[in-house]
A and B are shown apart, each in its own frame.
Chain A
């Protein structure tokens, strides 16, 4: 490899938003055909670095120092028009959510052909031919006509691949992938990841691959850079980072992914707390979302409901809590039949089933203090006085390992993990028997999510509360649940004790799900693809 192979050189990059420094002293070089993985939790500055490589900063941010040299030219010295000419044909961007990043009012052809046509590199017809070729390369269905569709007419995995086609349309030197598979289901993620890797290898395009998932980056990157709070923690070859991390932070990240041991509690048995029999539910005009689901939760149980998006997991939670009335079937709580709608349930029945939500940011009223939020169910269900409520809220905060001073804060003054703890405290304030946890860790960073799981576990041991734990993360299931139900298209296809369901012989769908969870080994993707052929 010669020096002229270097397509990008980032040198002591510094990005600031006013007085706050988002990225500081980050340097790396990228050769033709090489892939560097940027790893870190949210707020690590990964996306900011990726965007800076296109000479772009989000509102309020500015590149405050360093150089970004693209093929011998420092892009920070370019004029606005010069930077615009670079974006697309020189460096192209692939965003996390294709659903949000495609314009809903334009066809895929219009959007995919836009880079070569608007930059005056191809005629509309030539660009269209290139698009069709890329659609074919990316295994998209009916490549000739695929581009005539609007974004809402294709699936999430297809849209993510269409975005890769859009980025590749003008044959850029560098692709910036920003968490491109994070929003996808595990089984879809495998296909999309394979398509991306094929594209990069065949076109010898250099790439910056941004993700928080070490196992994903292990499949695609030659080098890995670990970032935290905008600073470089560690930078080395993929093998070195994964096998022999030098820094403590990297070791924690790696350890979190490979943790194999299970700390599943035994349920104390006894009569069923919640029993769901042949429940059917649907939204207005659509086909059945839940179709004949039966399950049982005992005191102290953690029942994990797993499945991909659209399988009916969250709908099941809404039916159990009564937010969505069931159409048929029976739900019993401690022997009493629960009415379908929330209106028909007694205060006591409502109190016994509480819920924790996926997005702590939107599940808490931003105008209320922590005291109001946690105190409301105490006043509502138990009718306590103001003084008693305050004492109880302080007690709950201590249980959540939150400082007592948080009682007067509003959600805006808390971090994501702290907000989720407040959400848990609110659920516990009602002293429920069953808590429905809907993807409670998926909006949180790995290490923060890990702490939330440990907290839930400890609370269960102390209080004996049962969890119905909805998740798409199989790693979480193995660690926290003693029972599991695998959902597919509104039905439970496999269920029972966790070790039974997750040990051979598997149901075929369970096997597919399990084999799709990325592993840290660099050859994992090849193995999976080979097995599926």
Chain B
């Protein structure tokens, strides 16, 4: 089992390396030379050459990649071209905000969707089952910005219960922060819940057809115990991987929700940086997003290995 986990870790590191190369190559081949973009109207041949030298663009790409990735590993993400400040220092609070919102949403969505999925499996075919299925299918089908605006219109504007914008600063306290981000959190919960809930329901129901589930019923065990104690532990692997995918989405894919609620997260920062041709910031954001994605999926693979009793307790 340790070998399998080691293999997962090694694969994760290799994927991360590959992703960093793609990010570097991607920003390299962006249209428009960086130097000319910075100089704009002052782009005389002479200025360009000086600028390129300053930026180190005259050196070969492989060398620049090694320097960039080596620096990133030590926490040095370079300097922003727009603000000339350390990228790491610019990013840190934004990353904190993004992670905060992701953890907030996940803390509600993951338990809720698993409980709903189990309940739907226990009462398969009931009104409750059909209602949960239909409602979650609707929330996943509507684009997240629309959900965001709808919540904003009804809950904030018409009822006046919650603020429309989630403009937190570094000075905002935890309670205030939870209150301000309630609406974006709800939006995200509505987006991710369907996938996890349906996977929980489907994988539990697939297990419910096994002979050992029939055996549990023949032992006179009540249905909810059969579902929770006998079926769910065997249905974990697919649920774990879907949870990981959704957690990754909560970190990586929330830029639209951040924009709707004007929330100062990492996604916003990246979009701004792209429009400003601020390549070091774009690269850093890309690297953080891909790391989050890879690490979460790797953890899911390892958790699925640990959830398998055959691997946890070899013969």
* Residues of A participating in the B interface, judged by any CB pair closer than 8 Å: 51, 54, 56, 58, 83-89, 92-93, 95, 97, 100-106, 114-115, 118-119, 149-150, 152-153, 166
Contact = CB atoms under 8 A, between A and B. Distances in A.
27 contacts: A51-B218, A83-B220, A84-B221, A85-B220, A87-B220, A88-B219, A89-B220, A92-B218, A93-B219, A97-B211, A100-B210, A100-B212, A101-B212, A102-B212, A103-B234, A104-B234, A104-B309, A105-B233, A105-B234, A106-B233, A114-B216, A118-B220, A118-B225, A119-B220, A150-B309, A152-B315, A153-B315
A114 B219 contact: yes
Given A106-B230, A153-B313, A93 B218 contact: yes
B222 interface: yes
Contacts of A106: 229-230, 233
A84 B221 CA distance: 7
Contacts of B222: 84, 118
Contacts of B217: 56, 87
Contacts of B215: 93, 95, 101-103
A87 B313 CA distance: 31
Nearest to B234: A105
A118 to B, nearest CB: 5
Most B Cβ at <10 Å: residue of A103, A114, A153: A103
Nearest to B213: A103
B59 interface: no
A68 to B, nearest CB: 15
A104 B234 CA distance: 8
A262 B218 CA distance: 44
A83 B223 CA distance: 13
Chain B contact residues: over half helix, strand or loop, or mixed?
helix
Contacts of B229: 106
A90 to B, nearest CB: 9
Given A56-B217, A104-B309, 17 more contacts: A51-B218, A86-B220, A95-B211, A95-B214, A95-B215, A100-B211, A101-B214, A103-B212, A104-B212, A104-B234, A105-B309, A114-B219, A119-B220, A150-B313, A152-B310, A152-B313, A153-B313
**Interface band, chain B:** 20 to 34
Nearest to B225: A118
B174 to A, nearest CB: 38
Most A Cβ at <10 Å: residue of B221, B225, B234: B221
Nearest to A166: B219
Interface of B: 210-212, 214-222, 225, 229-230, 233-234, 309-310, 313, 315
A106 B233 CA distance: 9
Contacts of B211: 95, 97, 100-101
Considering the complex of A and B, which 5 residue pairs feature the smallest CB-CB distances, nearest first? A87-B220, A105-B233, A100-B211, A88-B220, A93-B218
Given A97-B211, A153-B315, A54 B234 contact: no
A84 B212 contact: no
A56 B229 CA distance: 21
Contact of B218 (A87, A89, A119): A87
Nearest to A91: B218
A117 to B, nearest CB: 10
A115 B219 contact: yes
Most B Cβ at <10 Å: residue of A97, A118, A119: A118
Contacts of A86: 220
A115 B225 CA distance: 13
B310 A104 contact: yes
Contacts of A166: 219
Contacts of A89: 220
A408 B225 CA distance: 48
Nearest to B233: A105
Most A Cβ at <10 Å: residue of B212, B310, B313: B212
B92 to A, nearest CB: 42
A18 to B, nearest CB: 18
A118 B219 contact: yes
A155 to B, nearest CB: 10
Contacts of B219: 87-88, 92-93, 114-115, 118, 166
Nearest to B312: A150
B216 to A, nearest CB: 7
Contacts of A95: 211, 214-215
A436 to B, nearest CB: 30
A87 B315 CA distance: 32
A526 to B, nearest CB: 31
Nearest to A54: B218
Nearest to B231: A103
B218 A56 contact: yes
Contacts of A115: 219-220
A89 B221 CA distance: 11
A104 B216 CA distance: 13
A511 to B, nearest CB: 30
Contacts of A88: 218-220
A104 B221 CA distance: 17
A93 B238 CA distance: 31
A92 B219 CA distance: 7
A119 B216 CA distance: 13
A153 B310 CA distance: 8
A387 B217 CA distance: 55
A106 B313 CA distance: 11
Contacts of A92: 218-219
A152 B309 contact: yes
A56 B216 CA distance: 12
Contacts of B315: 152-153
A88 B221 CA distance: 9
A80 to B, nearest CB: 9
B220 A103 contact: no
Nearest to A119: B220
Contacts of B220: 83-89, 115, 118-119
A93 B212 CA distance: 12
A82 to B, nearest CB: 10
A182 to B, nearest CB: 14
A95 to B, nearest CB: 6
Contacts of A119: 220
Most B Cβ at <10 Å: residue of A51, A105, A115: A105
A482 to B, nearest CB: 40
A135 B230 CA distance: 23
A251 B148 CA distance: 76
Most A Cβ at <10 Å: residue of B210, B212, B219, B230: B219
Nearest to B313: A150
A176 to B, nearest CB: 9
A174 to B, nearest CB: 13
